Structure 1
Amino acid sequence: MKILLATLSIEPESRNENNRNAAYSLGLGYLHTVLEAAGHNVKTLFLNNVDYSASDAAFFSAVKEMRPQAVGFQVFSMNRVATFAVIQKLHDADPEIRIIIGGVHTSMMYEQILKRFPYAVAVIGEGEHTLTELVAALAGGRTLENVNGLAYFQQGQVKLTPERELIADLDGLPEPRHEIFFDSEPARSVGHIISSRGCPFDCTFCCLKVISKRRFRARSPERVAAEIKGLKNRYPRLKEIQFHDDTLLLDNARVIALCKLLVNEGLKLNFVCSARVKPVSEDMFYWMQKAGFTKVMFGLETGSEKLLQSIHKGITKADVLNLFKTLKPYGFNVTTFLMCGFPGETAETVRETIELVRATQRIKYNLVSGVGKLWVYPGTDVYRVMKAAGKISDDFWMTEQPVPYFTVEHDVATLTRFENEMLENLSFLNIFTFRGFYRHFLRMPLGITRFFIKPSNGKILLSVLAAAAQRNFPVIYAKLYAAYKNAVSGRSDALPGGSDNTP
């Protein structure tokens, strides 16, 4: 069977345009591999970071060229607008093409989507086994009720087949088809990988727990190391691997075992990951540094003890301070992720966040490049609060509006004020503004200076200078940056937009 898989353009604010090293869809990479292994002819399109018109044009060009019998769309909240428009247009043009939808947003909102597009079939949850069985049923002309993990429209109503169990043995899956993303981007030097799935925690703003059921499942260190080694062998230009696990560091012993394997391989790669504040250990950080980890990004979200409890983060201020004391001897850069606008957020909780992050920066300087206003996704606790307050309904997700912020207690202008307050006090990108210089740099001039004079941080310093130029001389900056992009088109290390320059 000829199958086209696609993930389409996301909302403009969140696109990573002009970045050839941007994260790619490992989910589609895995689906591509399992469908090929089942004997199907598969093509995959990764179009998240192009605008709507370019995404539309590339998709229909591929349809014309391939003439697929089935098309599978990865749907998440930020690409639903482009995806829904293309689904309708595709069906109008060729009703014989079977349309399959999956992804996080589909798993949350399959009923309303199928009522809009009753000719589609929805894959609920993890898709590798479900999609393989679904395609086999379609190719064989069989009915769908015996395929677990599906939703579809029949006889005027949405039908749901029995739930698909989570994949227990991740080592039993083949590696994702990285070639899709490397061969289409000859300048790509950053690879992306998932070594585990799931998170056992219960954060009120996270929708992934609906998919993973708060169950952590891990691949063996040997399989992960082999995938990384294979990538490096196939693509000698590879310089960096970014891990996209929900909770990579959850099992410290497993991380240490993986790092020891990477040390033995001597691949000369840099590694980047995101992580929770705990559990951590000196032994784990020692082996991570030895293996080549150069950046770890921690999700703190807020420095308010009250909010940390109410959002079910599962950490305390003491845990945060302990983390940075443990991190202090190690050389990798640390980024701290912050958000504002949680239920209960006030000027005082914003001040608490500033004070806690300042305390961590004095222990070991860590980078705050942005502060996210709280987005609201279906399936989350904060979405239910928004619905109960009459601020949103399920009908919202069939509109063309962008993913909304949590505005039950504060309007967007107030959230922006909270955001700016944090940035002026904590962000390295603001040190060349009057308020940033006074509130951030002068609070810890030696620590910030020591950080930026490290030779390995030269590109980060360049991003600070670029941010200052953009803020103070926007017209000149725009012209220079446009000229620069044209001059280095195709390079992976382009100035402020390249991932190598992202702290």
Structure 2
Amino acid sequence: MKDAITNGCDVLLIGYEDQENLGLRSIAAFLTGHGVRAKIEPYDRSLKDNILARIRMENPGIVGFSLIFQRMLFEFADLMTYLRQNGVTAHFTVGGHFTSIEFERTLELIPELDSVVRHEGEQTLLELFHSVDQHDSWSQIKGLAYRDDGRIKVTPPRPLIQDLDSIPPPVRSGTITTHRGLGICSILGSRGCYYNCSFCSIQEFYGEAPGPKRRSRSPSNIVCEMKQLFSERGIRIFIFQDDCWCMKGHKHQQWIRDFVRELKKEKISDQILWRISCRVDDVNAELISRMKEVGLMCIYIGIESGSNQGLKTFNKHYAVDDVYKALGTLRELKMPFEYGFMIFDPDSTMATVKENIAFLKEIGRDGQVIAHFCKMVPYAGTSIARRLEEEGRLEGTVNSPDYNYNDSRLNLLQLFFSQTFNFRNFDNNGLVERLRLAKFDAIVLNKFFSDRCDARAYTQAVRDLTRQSNESALEVMSMAANFMEMQNEEEILDNWQFLENLAREEKYTEMRIASDLDRLTSRYDFEEGI
């Protein structure tokens, strides 16, 4: 390892940072706390030259890549090739869910890569730093996969970190994300998840490493970080990135009560907003009421399907009636929510798709949430991917796994939905994201700026536009599904013009709603800051 007194850094961590990459930031803080000069460079596929220039300036001994998304595998491979071609000789290592699970395939596909840090990376990367020039000692580093004389070797998995309070808070540097002058940041209260949803790789990522499936920081430790961010960086809005905010069982319920008490004790609860994610069967009226009193503003809830067959496929362990009950509780508490939803899955039929559309119509009828949807992706390491492979149905590529449906007409329905709603559902300028942002903006105005505007009127206007968008999109989806259900593939293709006409009507409606939204938000545009 190069001399520690030289300029630059010892370890440069590169990762996707559209939202704060708390995994990278935690590793950077841990390394720094152990005397290793660690820095972070945000990843952007269009800025390879910037990354190369940063590496040349910092001259790190190790460059660590955070591969959060499986779909970005070959983007990172191209980046590593580019860096090697331009003379970068540092040790390249990578971490993340996919690379931990598919470490052999990762090393085979990316010859420029020297090692894979598996599972939680703090201690493993620290030990690698101290031994990077001593290849023979790598076999003693737990949680590492690497090349050795043309073969791939892997060491035993490293036990998971038991005491999350022992890890320093994530590195916070650079520009603060703001909304109306209020600082926003991500924060993490726990690691892991108890559940085993068939489409999720979290269990596989943590499951091989010894230790509890889920671990929490202490309430006082989290609130201490929140207060520091509040005081030193002006953060007023906290987005908890926990995989699941558990509300079942005495232990977790007491944890939440203690967390609420700590927020009240530090006297910041009336000056902040925060968001959590939870399962349908974790919704607890008493606990949510307590959290709402200290700033809880929104819950992201993993609904996933409005069909009992879909919920069974996803191994959710609850039924559609349970979903309606949970959403009813949130509405009674006047707690805003967002949700995840996969309208297509490997067991989809025309009937289940129509059930999903009817479900979205019901929950979006009042405009409190925007209707949106996607297709379930069989990520590496998930039980659904293994099942599809056993059935001979796993298709696509390593970075974009896919499958076809038992009813081939669903491939055409998926194509129509994708062509018609892709921009609406997934683009930052599409209606889904814009209406979500307006909904969030209304919550912020009501909390911090109610003396400057009629936040209630704004909230209602956003709901009206959301309701209109839901009605239009879901009616088009219903008509398309009914049309295809009555015909075979050849007839569908022969009459595709009918579907194109539906798509044009939807695009026109989206443009009108977007214009109305522009006019609405412009009326609430005023000087920011509190």
**TM-score by shorter chain over 0.5:** yes
Partner of 2:378: 376
SS of the equivalent of 1:90 reads helix
Q: Is the 8 A contact 1:340 1:415 kept in 2?
A: no
Distance 2:95 2:46 in 1: 22
Q: Can you list the C-alpha shifts for 1:166-213, whole angstroms capped at 9, x where unaligned?
A: 111111111111225639999782110110111111111111111122
Match of 1:94 among 79, 87, 92: 87
Q: Which residue of 1 aligns with 2:15?
A: 7
When residues 480 and 93 of structure 1 are mapped into structure 2, their CA distance, relative to the original with a 3 A threshold, is farther
1:222 is aligned to 220
Q: Which letter does structure 2 place at the counterpart of 1:228? A: M
On the 8 A contact 1:354/1:422 being kept in 2, the answer is no
What is the identity, as a one-letter code, of the residue corresponding to 1:415? Q
Q: Which residue of 1 aligns with 2:7?
A: none
1:67 positional shift: 1.7
Q: CA RMSD in A?
A: 3.8
Query: Is 1:259–1:291's contact at 8 Å kept on the other side of the alignment?
Result: yes
Say if 1:136 and 1:219 are closer, same or farther in 2 by CA, change over 3 A. Answer: same
Q: Distance in 1 between matches of 2:23 and 2:77?
A: 19
Classify 1:303/1:117 alpha carbon distance in 2 versus 1 (closer, same or farther; 3 Å): closer
Structure with the larger RCO, 1 or 2 (CA within 8 Å, 6+ apart)? 1
Corresponding residue of 1:153: 147
Q: Please list, as runs of the form range in 1=range in 2, the aligned pairs for 1:104-115 lying within 5 A after superposition.
A: 104-115=97-108
Give the deviation of 1:30 after TM superposition.
0.3
Residue of structure 2 in register with 1:248 after alignment: 245
Deviation at 1:419?
7.5
**Among 57, 62, 69, which residue is 1:65 paired with?**
57
Counterpart in the other structure of 1:239: 236
Q: Is the 8 A contact 1:263 1:290 kept in 2?
A: no
1:79 aligns with 2:72: yes
Secondary structure (helix, strand or coil) at the match of 1:166 reads coil
- Give, in whole Å, the separation in 1 of the partners of 2:182 and 2:506: 26
Question: Match of 1:315, as an amino acid?
Answer: Y
Whole-Å Cα distance in 2 between the matches of residues 479 and 277 of structure 1?
Answer: 35
Secondary structure, counterpart of 1:168 in structure 2: coil
Whether contact under 8 Å (2:147, 2:153) holds in the other structure is: yes
Does the residue aligned with 1:73 lie in a helix, a strand or coil?
strand
Contact 1:123–1:130 (Cα < 8 Å) also in 2:
yes
The TM-score with structure 2 as length reference comes to: 0.73
- Structure 1 distance, partners of 2:292, 2:58, is 46
Describe the shift of the 1:30–1:470 C-alpha distance in structure 2 as closer, same or farther (beyond 3 A).
farther
What is the DSSP-based 3-state SS (H/G/I as helix, E as strand, rest coil) of the residue aligned with 2:158?
Answer: coil
Q: Distance in 2 between matches of 1:85 and 1:128?
A: 26
SS of 1:40 mapped into structure 2: coil
User: Cα–Cα, structure 1 residues 141 and 40, in superposed 2: closer, same or farther, change >3 Å?
Assistant: farther
1:478 Cα deviation (Å)?
A: 11
Give the aligned residue type for 2:508: N
- My pick for the range that moved more, 283-292 or 89-98, is 89-98
Q: Letter of the 1:30 partner, please give it.
A: S
CA distance in 2, matches of 1:156, 1:59: 29
2:495 corresponds to: none
Alignment gaps of 5+ in structure 1 = 10-21, 431-451, 483-490, 494-503
Query: Which letter does structure 2 place at the counterpart of 1:57?
Result: D
- Rounded to whole Å, the distance in 1 between the matches of 2:402 and 2:177 is 37
- Pick the aligned partner of 2:369 from 350, 367, 373: 367
Given that residues 182 and 236 in structure 2 are in contact (C-alpha distance below 8 angstroms), is that contact kept between their aligned partners in structure 1? no
Q: CA deviation at 1:6?
A: 0.3
Residue 82 of structure 2 aligns to a residue whose secondary structure is: helix
Partner Cα separation in structure 1 for residue 175 and residue 253 of structure 2? 30
Query: 1:39-438 residue pairs with structure 2 within 5 A?
Result: 39-47=35-43, 50=44, 52-54=45-47, 56-75=48-67, 76-94=69-87, 96-118=89-111, 119-138=113-132, 143-180=137-174, 182=176, 189-213=183-207, 215-236=213-234, 238-250=235-247, 251-267=252-268, 268-360=271-363, 366-392=368-394, 396-397=397-398, 403-409=400-406, 410=408, 412-417=411-416
**Alpha-carbon deviation of 1:263?**
3.1
Residue identity in the other structure for 1:240: I
Do 2:187 and 2:238's aligned partners in 1 also have CA atoms closer than 8 Å? yes
TM-score using structure 1 length: 0.76
Mapped contact 1:337–1:368 kept (Cα < 8 A): no
1:8 and 1:83 in contact (8 A); partners too: no
Give the whole-Å Cα distance in 2 for the aligned partners of 1:33 and 1:381.
34
Deviations 1:406-456 (A, max 9, x none): 424356432255689999xx9x969xxxxxxxxxxxxxxxxxxxxx96544
Aligned to 1:486: none
Structure-2 separation of matches of 1:124 and 1:3: 17
Deviation of the 1:82 alpha carbon: 1.7
Rate the CA distance shift 1:473–1:186 in 2: closer, same or farther, 3 A: closer
Amino acid at match of 2:12: L
SS in 2 for 1:256: helix
Q: Give the match for residue 437 of structure 1.
A: none
| CA radius of gyration, larger in | 2
AA partner of residue 194 (structure 2): P
Shift of 1:470: 10
Q: Distance in 2 between matches of 1:242 and 1:266?
A: 19
Measure the CA separation in 2 of the matches of 1:406 and 1:392: 5
The range that moved more, 136-145 or 36-45, is: 136-145
Deviations 1:83-131 (A, max 9, x none): 1111122223335311111111111221022124455111111111111
Distance 1:473 1:315, change over 3 A: closer
- What is residue 30 of structure 1 aligned with on the other side? 26
Letter in structure 1 aligned against 2:413: T
Deviations 1:141-190 (A, max 9, x none): 76201100000111221101111111111111111112256399997821
Could you say if the C-alpha distance between residues 461 and 230 of structure 1 is closer, same or farther in structure 2, counting changes exceeding 3 Å? farther
- Structure 1 counterpart SS, 2:213: coil
Is the Cα–Cα contact under 8 Å of residues 370 and 467 in structure 2 kept in the other structure? no
Q: Secondary structure at the match of 2:60?
A: coil
Distance 1:475 1:319, change over 3 A: closer
Segments of 5+ residues of structure 2 without an aligned counterpart are 5-9, 433-454, 473-504, 519-526
Percent sequence identity is 23
